[in-house]
Amino acid sequence: MTQTIAPRIRTLVLLLLAATGLLLAGAGQASAHAALSGSDPQQGAVVDKAPAQVSLTFTEQVSTSDDSLRVLDPKGQRVDSGAPSNVSGTTYSVKLHSGLPDGTYTVSYQVVSADSHPVAGAYTFSIGAPSPTTVSVTDETVGGGVVGWLYGFGRYMSYAGFIVLVGGAAFVLACWQRGSGVRALQRLVVSGWITLTAATIGLLLLRGSYTSSGEAGDIFDLDLLGQVLQTKTGAALVSRLLLLAAAALFIAVLFGAYARPSPTTTLNDGASRRLPDSRDDEEKRDLTFGLAVGGVVVAAGLAASWAMSEHASVGIQAGIAMPVDVLHLLAVATWLGGLAALLLALYRAPADNPLDTTAVHRFSTVAFSSVVTLVATGIYQSWRQLGSWSALTDTRYGQLLLVKIGLVVLLVGVAYISRRWTARLAETVPTAAEVVEKEPARARAGKGSKQADGDSERAAQLARQQAAMDAARQKRSRDADPNRFGLRRSVLAEAGVAVVLLAVTTVLTQTEPGRTEEEAKAATSSAASSSDSASGALTLDMPFDTGGEDGKGVVTIDLDPAGVGANEIHVYVTRPNGRAFDIPEVKVAFTLESNDIGPLPVVPDHITTGHWSANGVQIPMAGEWEIAVTVRTSDIDQVTVDKNAQIG
């Protein structure tokens, strides 16, 4: 059997690699998880007169509230008036008070993207000339703190509950129908339902605070809850709760009427045997079919509650992406949830109802089909969210995706080992029917010896004790099978990797897709290039890494007009994800080596978070100048980065 599996796996891998190359090579434009792509006035701009409004452009449509766009003067007072309005397409604006004085103003935004994720940020512009400001926008984000942690944990638990609920039920129906009467499996599936239900209620309560204030005290705010119920995400969570009510009925039937044993009768020899009744078999088949159809409908509906409100619902080919996402989630649940059920059955199946090799073989086939579906749908999803090979390494989404791919490969490798153990597994434990057949013989022996003494009650007691001893001996014999022991260990390893994989997947669903991140960078660079071309300004981006904690980022130098004489310099420091942050010290030096001039030191003044500025920077003559920036991120961690540029 293993000899035939290996060629199939090699062929599958080659086909999937070829498909990956074709998809990524032909990637088009798409967007998901909104990002700021432009603004008016632009970040760091100095305008001659006060604008009538501030406009922000995102990579996709967003949801706004009255406080989504705020403009603050140097003293931190709001100077915007009215609620934000959708000017056109993905551009939103807010009007400003008239007669604003000169100085540096801070624009803060907090919106919700179409794929349900909150997006926040801030930047500054100046009227007349830059000035000090009291506004601090360090780490201007939403989704952090205690509420953010609880929301992320709730998402993880909701995925885990869904996987255990759907996968455990599928394992019972498709692989081991006698397992419906095993109490350990019943508890597993019910715990999945409870976990998913509790997590969904928790996410519904947390959602309002998560996308707005981030305050724990707002979790039970009924006004916020009412606003959440009117959003796409709120509707999806409510729909999930309604489907969970149907799932409760499904579980009741699966572990109730479906698990009820067939009628038996006691024969003259004391044996309990199943009554042959074709009607019982037909009813069992009908019930199995009904449960299978109903279970698929409920499971698909639960999966759709994610697909219709998150990444799959936004961007290109949304009509295809959503059903693909549903298939992806169902494949994950069938594989990993069934894996949990298999692990529990291998360790906790009762001696009189052991897990037989037929069930293991069936699950092996189901798992292989699930992996094929998982990989195929995963390739399509990756293409939609990445769009290019560079996004795999240059974006956080791509880096997390590489980790996920590595874990999936590891999981498939361990699963292949499990398939080999399955192929070699020998049934060493008698079936439940065989156990029943053996018990009457012992009972008859006990009856014959004891009835002569007139103690039939004692004989029955001895028969029960003997049956218990035989069952324990059979379990020890089954557990001693090296093939079964090997299967247990490999399945346990699979389950361990699956837990980590689920955590990475949860983080991935909350991360801005690589395609969107690159589009936002391209739009920002294009806007900056256009501005620089019009004004003659010079912009240089220099990545840095001081080697310490939180020591990576990008320092941007804006020199205007980048000519001989007085210049205005702006220094911006951002994290690798593009968010501004403060560091203890930034210094700039200009050197013209060809004429042995410099270094000419410049110590800019701190304006606001991640922004420093200096006026009247004198460049004595034109030439190829070296611009060196010293960045210090702690008391001991600093680095100097430099670039050459033509000035004048």
Q: What is the DSSP letter of 642?
A: E
pLDDT in tens, 592-603: 888 788 888 999
In this structure, what token pair is assigned to residue 101?
A: 């004085």
pLDDT-derived band of residue 418, with 50, 70 and 90 as boundaries? low
Q: Which of 188, 308, 176, 187 is nearest to 238 (CA)?
A: 308
48-100 tens-digit pLDDT: 888 999 999 887 778 887 788 989 998 889 999 888 888 777 889 999 998 89
Cα(343)–Cα(499) distance, integer angstroms: 14
Q: Is 29 exposed, middle or buried (0-12, 13-18, 19+ CB in 10 A)?
A: exposed
Q: Are strands 103-113 and 118-127 parallel, antiparallel or unpaired?
A: antiparallel
- CB-CB contact of 344 with 175 (8 Å): no
- Report, as an integer, the average pLDDT of 465-493: 60
Residue labelled with tokens 């310490």: 548
Q: What is the pLDDT of residue 470?
A: 56
Region for 406 from its dihedrals, namely left if φ exceeds 0, alpha if ψ lies in -120 to 50, beta otherwise: alpha
**Region class of 207: left (phi > 0), else alpha (psi between -120 and 50), else beta:** alpha
d(C-alpha 122, C-alpha 142), whole Å? 12
The answer to whether the CB of 567 falls within 8 A of the CB of 549 is no
Whether the Cβ atoms of residue 491 and residue 343 lie closer than 8 Å to each other: yes
Distances, alpha carbon 552 to alpha carbons 94, 186, 298, 556, 631, in Å: 34, 50, 46, 13, 10
The pLDDT of 191-203, averaged and rounded, is 95
pLDDT at 144: 63
User: Structurally, what CATH architecture does the domain formed by 36-127 represent?
Assistant: Sandwich (2.60)
Q: Residue 449 above 60 pLDDT?
A: no
Task: Tell me what pLDDT residue 518 has.
Answer: 64
pLDDT digits over 115-164, tens only? 677 888 888 888 888 788 887 655 445 566 788 889 888 988 998 899 99
Indicate if the pLDDT at residue 508 is higher than 80: no
Place of tokens 């609880």: 150
Q: At 353, which amino acid appears?
A: N
**pLDDT confidence band for 266 (50 / 70 / 90):** very low
Given a contact cutoff of 8 angstroms between Cβ atoms, the answer to whether 489 and 347 are in contact is: no
Predicted confidence band of residue 250 (pLDDT cuts 50, 70, 90): very high
End-to-end CA distance of the chain: 75
Contact by Cβ (8 Å): 115, 61: no
Ranges 34-38, 178-182, 324-328: which has the least confidence: 34-38
**DSSP code at position 350:** -
Look up residue 183 and give its two tokens.
């109490």
- CA 491/CA 476 separation, integer angstroms: 20
Tell me if residue 421 falls in helix, strand or coil. Answer: helix
Q: How many CA atoms lie within 13 A of 38 on its CB side?
A: 17
- Both structure tokens of 562: 């980048």
Q: Which of 157-161, 184-188, 196-200, 450-454 has the lowest mean pLDDT?
A: 450-454
Token match 């998901």: residue? 32
CA 178 to chain centre: 35
Q: What pLDDT is attached to residue 400?
A: 80
CB 424, CB 253: distance < 8 Å? no
The residues with which 70 forms a beta bridge, in sequence order, are 108
CB-based contact 610:580 (threshold 8 Å): yes
- Indicate the residue type of 198: A
Predicted TM-score of the model (pTM): 0.62
Contact 564, 570 (CB under 8 A): no
pLDDT score for 279: 54
Nearest to 104 by CA among 50, 141, 56, 39: 50
Rounded to the nearest 10 degrees, the angle between the axes of helix 145-174 and helix 357-386 is 140
- Name which of 546, 540, 548 is nearest 572 in CA terms: 540
**Over 50: is that where the pLDDT of 3 sits?**
no
CB-based contacts of 163, cutoff 8 Å, min separation 6: 192, 332, 333, 336, 337, 340, 502
For 496, residues 6+ apart whose C-beta sits below 8 A from its C-beta are: none
What's the CA gap between 520 and 304, in Å, rounded? Answer: 29
Which tokens is 4 given? Answer: 């035939």
Query: Tokens 């033509």 belong to which residue?
Result: 646
Specify whether the CB–CB gap between 259 and 291 falls below 8 A.
no
What is the rounded distance in angstroms from the CA atom of residue 618 to the CA atom of residue 131? 20
In this predicted structure, what is the pLDDT of residue 65? Answer: 79
What tokens does 253 get?
Answer: 């039937």
Residue whose tokens read 């969970």: 244
Pick one of 2.60.40.10, 3.30.465.10, 2.60.40.420, 2.60.40.1930 as the CATH number of 536-647.
2.60.40.1930
